[in-house]
Structure 1
């Protein structure tokens, strides 16, 4: 990668507090763009326009993400005085349709937890860990990266809250229900690596804590044992279920935004689609005109 793009990534880390995953995504997109058209800091409008052809086989969402990264880079280059023009107008601008979240029904959740609880009954450490993991995913709506990287000091002591370091270095308090607290207590009682590891879910591998990939694998395997389609289960799906089921239960959208750690309410609003049926039923049953007979 060019020195200019490296400087841009350093700025994202230092000034915007971008996470390691975010930086990796930016690095990949910018490196691929430079492989196609050369040094971005010196690329002219015609060169930038050629990216449309290079991205021709990609999904609209992928093109939109890559274009966003390059636009931000050009803005940074102008601010730094490396160039006077902004050729990003030549970038393709597809309308990426935000996919609706996969949703698990209450019966699926019940089956998943029933299996996890049955396996954890013998207090075998790995089974108890799996139960604690799904309790926090579904009970508190944590992101996979937030969950696996939880330090021991984040575990609630006097108050039922987790202190979560989210995207961009932001910190939020997430409530932990009685079930999740009980699962955490069981896990702490059998957790290996104490007190050497500072992480709640330590690992024996090169990474000091459980990885997102391993978490994904554990959930897939649990789904199979619970008789569920593993393709429908992932850490993010359980986070979606947390949000969806809270909204169904009457949670306020702003409260949900805070719990999920969304910077923009528009990100949270995607969950309102799942509540459409309940809202229609509410109007039909509670609206003053609902009790009036229709005229022929």
Structure 2
């Protein structure tokens, strides 16, 4: 099989036509170009080359989840190019019931972020955090948070060929409308740049990291997706209905939702201590 830049770009164009997100396409491009560099300029690609790539990632010490993420675009491109027999198997992973406590954002830390944003009068960033955390939306879905949606108390999300409705808590509606009024916004995006475009994922990520440093929250815990995890964890603690939570998060598989409600193991450890089986 001949492996060229044209092969990569053709595959990425197919992903764009399938309405995959820009962030996903950028990630796939980086991984595919890295794989191409691994081949040392050779255009010929066979199964042994893909296996060597997989082995090199293992030897480099990457986590199995990271290796699978980097194998996915290569396997996808091979299927696109009509050579599925060159695909390699993903590493098998046992799903953990616990999350790494060094990466899990708790309610107290979330409140520290909000208080710091409020103290610094950073209303936009603070309200972005509250919007994601109180609705469970993805950071890429903030563009659907419009003045019209705030007035209706809900947003109709349409991404990747899927549609779902997100309801806004009453307190969030009040804050969104008050913020919009202060800025003189009567329609369209609430969180936008000076040019009128929705704020980017990268801007939010960078601003959150800065805010976290000033709030004294570990950088490993401060990123937009962790707000979605916190929403899932708190909602499940109140409702205990994983099917409903999966619908709210837009998951097609409950197994994905289980990852979101995994804890750091503290509750499990307390339960073990209560059993008093050690004499």
Q: Shorter chain as normaliser: what TM range? A: 0.7 to 0.9
Residues 1:95 and 1:191: Cα distance change in structure 2 (over 3 Å): farther
Please point out which of 165, 169, 172 is paired with 1:180.
172
- The reply to whether residue 34 of structure 1 matches residue 36 of structure 2 is yes
Once residues 259 and 128 of structure 2 are traced to their aligned partners in structure 1, the CA distance between those partners, rounded to angstroms, is: 25
Give the corresponding residue for 2:77.
Answer: 73
Once residues 139 and 276 of structure 1 are traced to their aligned partners in structure 2, the CA distance between those partners, rounded to angstroms, is: 24
Structure 2 runs not aligned, ≥5 long: none
Moved more, 100-109 or 131-140: 100-109
Give the corresponding residue for 2:134.
Answer: 139
RMSD: 3.5
Aligned residues: 267
Please point out which of 231, 256, 261 is paired with 2:245.
256
Residues 1:47 and 1:163: Cα distance change in structure 2 (over 3 Å): same
Once residues 44 and 221 of structure 1 are traced to their aligned partners in structure 2, the CA distance between those partners, rounded to angstroms, is: 45
Once residues 211 and 32 of structure 2 are traced to their aligned partners in structure 1, the CA distance between those partners, rounded to angstroms, is: 37
Once residues 220 and 17 of structure 1 are traced to their aligned partners in structure 2, the CA distance between those partners, rounded to angstroms, is: 29
Give the corresponding residue for 1:13.
Answer: 16
Give the corresponding residue for 1:294.
Answer: none
Residues 1:71 and 1:130: Cα distance change in structure 2 (over 3 Å): closer
Once residues 191 and 228 of structure 1 are traced to their aligned partners in structure 2, the CA distance between those partners, rounded to angstroms, is: 30
Give the corresponding residue for 1:203.
Answer: 193
Per-residue deviation at 1:213?
2.4
Once residues 67 and 214 of structure 2 are traced to their aligned partners in structure 1, the CA distance between those partners, rounded to angstroms, is: 38
Give the corresponding residue for 1:52.
Answer: 54
Residues 1:178 and 1:114: Cα distance change in structure 2 (over 3 Å): farther
| Post-superposition CA distance 1:104-126 (Å, at most 9, x none) | 33333333334444555xxxxxx
| Post-superposition CA distance 1:56-82 (Å, at most 9, x none) | 31513232122222222222222xxxx
Once residues 8 and 93 of structure 1 are traced to their aligned partners in structure 2, the CA distance between those partners, rounded to angstroms, is: 20
Per-residue deviation at 1:176?
0.9
Once residues 279 and 250 of structure 1 are traced to their aligned partners in structure 2, the CA distance between those partners, rounded to angstroms, is: 19
SS at match of 2:110: helix
Q: Give the structure with higher Rg (CA).
A: 1
SS at match of 2:29: helix
* Structure 2 length-normalised TM: 0.78
Residues 1:131 and 1:52: Cα distance change in structure 2 (over 3 Å): closer
